[in-house]
Amino acid sequence: MTHRFDPTSLREYDIRGVVGKTLGEADARAIGRGFATLVRRSGGTRVAVGRDGRKSSPALEAALVEGLTASGVDVVRIGLGPTPMLYYAEAVLEVDGGIQITGSHNPADYNGFKMVLQHKPFFGPQIQELGRMAAEGDWEEAETPGAVEDADIEDDYVGRLIAGYAGGAYRIGWDAGNGAAGAVIEKLVKLLPGEHHTLYTDIDGDFPNHHPDPTEEKNLADLKALVAEKQLDFGLAFDGDGDRIGAIDGEGRVIWGDQLLSILAEPVLRELPGATIIADVKASQALFDRVKELGGKPEMWKTGHSLIKSRMKETGAPLAGEMSGHIFFAHDYYGFDDAQYAAVRLIRAVHMIGKSMTEIRGAMPKFVNTPEMRFQVDEARKFAVVDEVLDRLEAEGADVNRTDGARVTTPDGWWLLRASNTQDVLVARAEARDQAGLDRLMAQIDAQLAASGLKRGPQAAH
C-alpha cells in the first residue's frame, strides 16, 4: 500500500492543507503509518494524540489513530485542547512522541498536524521523509494493532500552568478567539488572583467572532473594547491552537511579540544573570538592546518555532520568542511554545517589575516600523533572490546579518528581506527612528527588489 500527499501540504514545520482539497483522512492515515514506523524504528511504542476544535478534527483524529495502531504503536488520546497541552502530554506521559491535529491560526477550512518525536520538534527533512515513506509504502506492519486509551490531562495541565505562581492580582481581559484553548483559559482564570473577564472561550471551529490570529491588530478590536469598557489593566489574546499570544495594555496599545519578550526577559535575567535570550530576525533592535541592558546575551536566530526550539536546546537559552507571538520557556518549564504559560509568566513579570503594564509599554523606545510585508514570488526563485541581494550588499560593504535572509543595519535603523519557509513569498520588514528614515529603508528594499527584476507589488495574504 502506498500514498501520495499533495506536495503543498508537507511544510517546513508541520503538515497543513485545505480539508477536502489538499488534505483528508487518507493523508491522516498515512501520517499515522509513517510516524508510527519512525517511532518503532527508534525503539518507541506509544504516541500521544490531541486535536483542536475544528469541525474536521475528529474525523482526522480517527484516521490518524487508525494509521498509528495499524503500524503497531499504542495511542494515548488526550482529546480536545491547545497544541501546548499535547506538548505537555508528550513531556510528562510515558510516550515516545506526540501529534496534534490543528489548523493553527489558518481559516476554518484548513487543518493539519504538528509533531514531536522523543521530546524534539519534528520538522524539515523529517516531514519530507514521511512523504517518501508513504510514496514507497515503507511502513511497519503490525501482527496485532496497537492499543488505544484515553487520558484526561486538562486539569493536570492547568495545574502545571499555575504551579508556583507568585504574581499579583490584576484586572485582565482574555480573548480565546473560539480557539482550542478556551476551556483551559476558563479553568486557569478561576485559579488566578484578581478579576478576569473572558471573551469567546466556547470552542467553535467556525470562528464566528473573529479570525484567531492575535498578531493582526484588527483581530484585537473586541479585546480593546472590553479593556476600555471595564477599564482593565491589560488584555491577552490567543491564536487558534493556543501556541501564540497577543497582548494589549490598559490603553489598548498592542504589545508585539518582541516587546512581550523584553518584559518576560527581565525576571528571567534577574534569576539567571548573563543568560542567552533568543529572538527571531524580525524582532526590533530595541529588544536586543534591552536584553543587553538587563545583562543578558541576545541572540538573533532564524524564524520558525521548530528552529528556535532546536536552537534553545543547543545554547541552553532559558527563554526565546518570535514576532509572531510564539514564546518559549525552558526556565522552569519544558522549552516549548505555550501561550497559556506565557500569559501566566507575563502577569508574574509585570508584578516583579513593579509598574503597570501601561507604564511598561509607555516606557519602551519609540520606533517607526512596518508590519510584516509579504510579496508573492515564484517558489523556485525566492531563495535565489535573497542570494542575489546578499551578493550585492556584500559588494557594497553593507552591514549585513545573514542568519536568516538579509538583515541590513544602517544609520537610519534596519531592514530585512528573507524567503518564507512555508509559502511562495518574500518577507520584508523595516524599522527606523522616524518616518523619513523608514522611507529611506523602504527605498533600499525597493532598489534591491528592482535589481532582481521584482517590485513591491500587492502583498500576499498571510
**pLDDT above 70: residue 460:** no
Give the closest residue to 15 by CA, choosing from 1, 2, 29.
29
pLDDT at 462 over 60: no
Residue 9: partners with Cβ closer than 8 Å, 6 or more residues away: 15, 16, 17, 22, 23, 27, 112
Distance from C-alpha of 281 to C-alpha of 285, rounded to nearest angstrom: 10
In this prediction, residue 213 carries a pLDDT of 95
* Cell numbers for 397: 560593504
Q: How confident is residue 461, by pLDDT bands cut at 50, 70 and 90?
A: very low
Assess whether 42 carries a catalytic annotation.
no
pLDDT for 459: 53
For the chain, what is the mean pLDDT? Answer: 96
Distance CA 240, CA 150 (A): 23
- Decide: 3 and 115 in contact? Cβ < 8 Å: no
**Rg of the Cα atoms in the chain:** 22
Contact indicator for 191, 157 with CB cutoff of 8 Å: no
- For residue 127, the tally of other CB atoms under 10 A from its CB is 22
User: Could you give the CA distance from residue 167 to residue 305 in angstroms, rounded to a whole number?
Assistant: 27
**E strands along 133-204, which residues?**
148-150, 170-175, 194-199
- The pLDDT of residue 456 is 78
**Local confidence band at 424 (pLDDT 50, 70, 90 cut-offs):** confident
Q: For position 330, what pLDDT does the model report?
A: 97
C-alpha–C-alpha distance, residues 156 and 101, integer Å: 21
β-strand partners of 173:
197, 235
Residue range 374-398: mean pLDDT, rounded: 94
Percent of the chain predicted with pLDDT > 70:
99
pTM of the model: 0.95
CA distance linking residue 238 with residue 339, whole number of Å: 7
Confidence label for 372 from pLDDT (cuts 50, 70 and 90): confident
The beta-strand segments (E) located in 218-275 are 234-238, 245-249, 254-255
Residue 406 has pLDDT above 70, yes or no: yes
Catalytic residue among 9, 56, 57, 104: 104
* pLDDT over threshold 70, residue 388: yes
pLDDT single digits (tens) 57-100 = 999 999 999 999 999 999 999 999 999 999 999 999 999 999 99
Q: Residue-wise over 207-238: b if at least 16 C-beta within 10 A, else e? A: bebbbbbbbeeebbebbbebbeeeebbbbbbb
C-alpha cell at 429: 520588514
Instruction: Give 294-341 pLDDT, tens digit per residue.
Output: 999 999 999 998 999 999 999 999 999 999 999 999 999 999 999 999
Residues 252-266 pLDDT 10s: 999 999 999 999 999
How do strand 406-410 and strand 413-419 relate by DSSP bridges?
antiparallel
Cα–Cα distance measured from residue 9 to residue 128, given in angstroms and rounded to the nearest whole number: 10
Instruction: For residue range 350-365, list pLDDT tens digits in order.
Output: 999 999 999 999 999 9
Residues 6+ apart with CB under 8 A from 34: 67, 129, 130, 133, 134, 139
Give all domains of the chain, ordered by start, each with its CATH number. 7-152 (3.40.120.10), 156-362 (3.40.120.10), 368-451 (3.30.310.50)
Nearest residue to 51 via CA among 41, 42, 60, 40: 60
When pLDDT is cut at 50, 70 and 90, the band that residue 457 belongs to is: low
pLDDT at 433 (0 to 100): 95
What is the helix (H) or strand (E) element at residue 444, kind and residue range?
helix 435-451
Percent of the chain with pLDDT over 90: 93
Highest mean pLDDT among 28-32, 371-375, 424-428: 28-32
pLDDT tens, 136-184? Answer: 999 999 999 999 999 999 999 999 999 989 889 999 999 999 999 999 9
Structure confidence at residue 421 (pLDDT): 82
Q: How far apart are CA 75 and CA 369, in angstroms?
A: 47
